[in-house]
Structure 1
Amino acid sequence: MQLPPPNWPIDFRITLLRATLYVLFIGGIAQGAYLEAVYLPSVRFTELGFTEFSQTLTLASCCGLLIYIRQVLKVWPNVTLLMLAFVAASLIREQDYFFDEFVADNSWKVLVALIILPSIGWVVYQRRRFIAEFAHYSNTFSFGLFAGGVLTTYIFSRLYGRQIFWRAVLEDNYVRIFKDVAEEVIELLGYSLILFAIIELLLLALRIRKAHSV
């Protein structure tokens, strides 16, 4: 059953509270990256450092919330399936070092394919329902945040973290750590925006269920 979003506005005070919490979260990850640089010199900005761990935790949280929205609240199941496949693939991609080290080279790619291909296939099969759901979702604050997170993580961080760029900036003082820090911290920012988007989707899904249970 297609569930359109409720029409009543969100209270300004609640919006302000959520915005404040998001600002504090962003400030927290920025401070965490600073403390990682100061107090964790042996693992800073590696797979065992604060930034990489935070990326994993953020993506895992996104997966859990999306599963709840889709399986429990049952709101926009095709849209949330595609989002879940995307986020889960990103989570696996972030563990590529461990898969390559302890399983087999490029084994993470197999897992990503096993998630992405069936999900896309199902969405294509259910394309009419997906389009109807997306027509609602694309007009939400959550979608804007999600799109911003994807662009930040997968476009801007890659371009900003290019070695050629940092060699041009630092010239003879170039050290790879500058490139790694720039790319990883911006990736974490992008993942945080995706988390905020899914939190907003969760709150919207709760409102939708409430509206249709009255």
Structure 2
Amino acid sequence: MPHELPPGQPWPIGFAATCLRATLYILLIAALAQGAFLEALHFPEARFSERGFIELAQSGLLAIASALLLYTRQVLRQLPTVTLLMFAFIFSSLIREQDAFLDNHVFDGAWQLLVTLVVVPSLYLVIRARRRFLAEFAAYANSFSFGLFAAGVLATYVFSRLYGRSAFWEAVLEEHYARTFKDAAEEVVELFGYALILIAVIELALLARRWTLARQAS
């Protein structure tokens, strides 16, 4: 039956599968770090700008995470209210990353309007099904995916903002301060946070798939 709550215990993850996933995640993080390094080394004219590797990678990570959440909700049909709320949050972040393009090529404030069109209906649907949301959240909150998602949100939306403050880097660098240091610190930490969010969504999709297989086998 569609949109049932997941069973209490999904099929366990084997050690070999865990090692494989860990290796792939390490390679992803390493590739992002190397890309940021190459941007700083070889592309000074695009460094930390909307045209640079870091900004494009941030958008790519958010786009893939959004697509996976839609897959989990619409195809695997697991945690529909939790995944809807997560999708609204992540897709709104993707829209926010395009703020300069939207302001310059659509109209000033376009990204705020688009975010509102995504967030308001999603919140309405989640609030309307709040009992179901709380039950789904209880099933999701103790998972590895949720811990990673929370870490990604804290890294991206809290730590990167505080770590990238101009006042902090002015205090560290004193008379050698340049805005490039602030931009590098904030954008690279933000990139890492988005990577954690994507990994969390991948783990959620894999968890949902195991729930689906467990239900089909029961």
TM-score by length of 1: 0.98
**How has the CA–CA distance of structure 1 residues 69 and 5 changed in structure 2, closer, same or farther, with 3 Å as cutoff?**
farther
Match of 1:132 among 132, 135, 142: 135
Tell me by how many angstroms 1:63 deviates: 0.7
State whether structure 2 residue 34 is matched by structure 1 residue 31. Answer: yes
1:208 is matched with which residue? 211
Alignment length (residue pairs): 214
1:90 is matched with which residue? 93
State whether structure 2 residue 173 is matched by structure 1 residue 170. Answer: yes
Post-superposition CA distance 1:80-119 (Å, at most 9, x none): 0000000000000000010111111121011101111111
Match of 1:157 among 151, 157, 160: 160
Does the 8 Å CA contact 2:7/2:215 hold for their aligned counterparts?
no
State whether structure 2 residue 49 is matched by structure 1 residue 41. Answer: no
State whether structure 2 residue 59 is matched by structure 1 residue 51. Answer: no
Does the 8 Å CA contact 2:95/2:115 hold for their aligned counterparts?
yes
**How has the CA–CA distance of structure 1 residues 8 and 71 changed in structure 2, closer, same or farther, with 3 Å as cutoff?**
closer
Misfit runs of 4+, over 4 Å: none
Can you give the 5+ residue segments of structure 1 that lack an aligned partner in the other structure? none
Does the 8 Å CA contact 1:146/1:194 hold for their aligned counterparts?
yes
CA–CA separation in structure 2 for the residues paired with 1:4 and 1:120 = 26
Tell me by how many angstroms 1:44 deviates: 1.2
Match of 2:109 among 106, 127, 136: 106
**RMSD across aligned C-alpha pairs, in angstroms?**
0.9
CA–CA separation in structure 1 for the residues paired with 2:189 and 2:26 = 15
Does the 8 Å CA contact 1:5/1:204 hold for their aligned counterparts?
no
Identity of aligned residues (%): 58
Tell me by how many angstroms 1:187 deviates: 0.4
**How has the CA–CA distance of structure 1 residues 7 and 61 changed in structure 2, closer, same or farther, with 3 Å as cutoff?**
closer
TM-score by length of 2: 0.96
Does the 8 Å CA contact 2:155/2:193 hold for their aligned counterparts?
yes
2:121 is matched with which residue? 118
CA–CA separation in structure 2 for the residues paired with 1:176 and 1:102 = 26
Does the 8 Å CA contact 1:58/1:191 hold for their aligned counterparts?
yes
Match of 2:183 among 176, 180, 183: 180
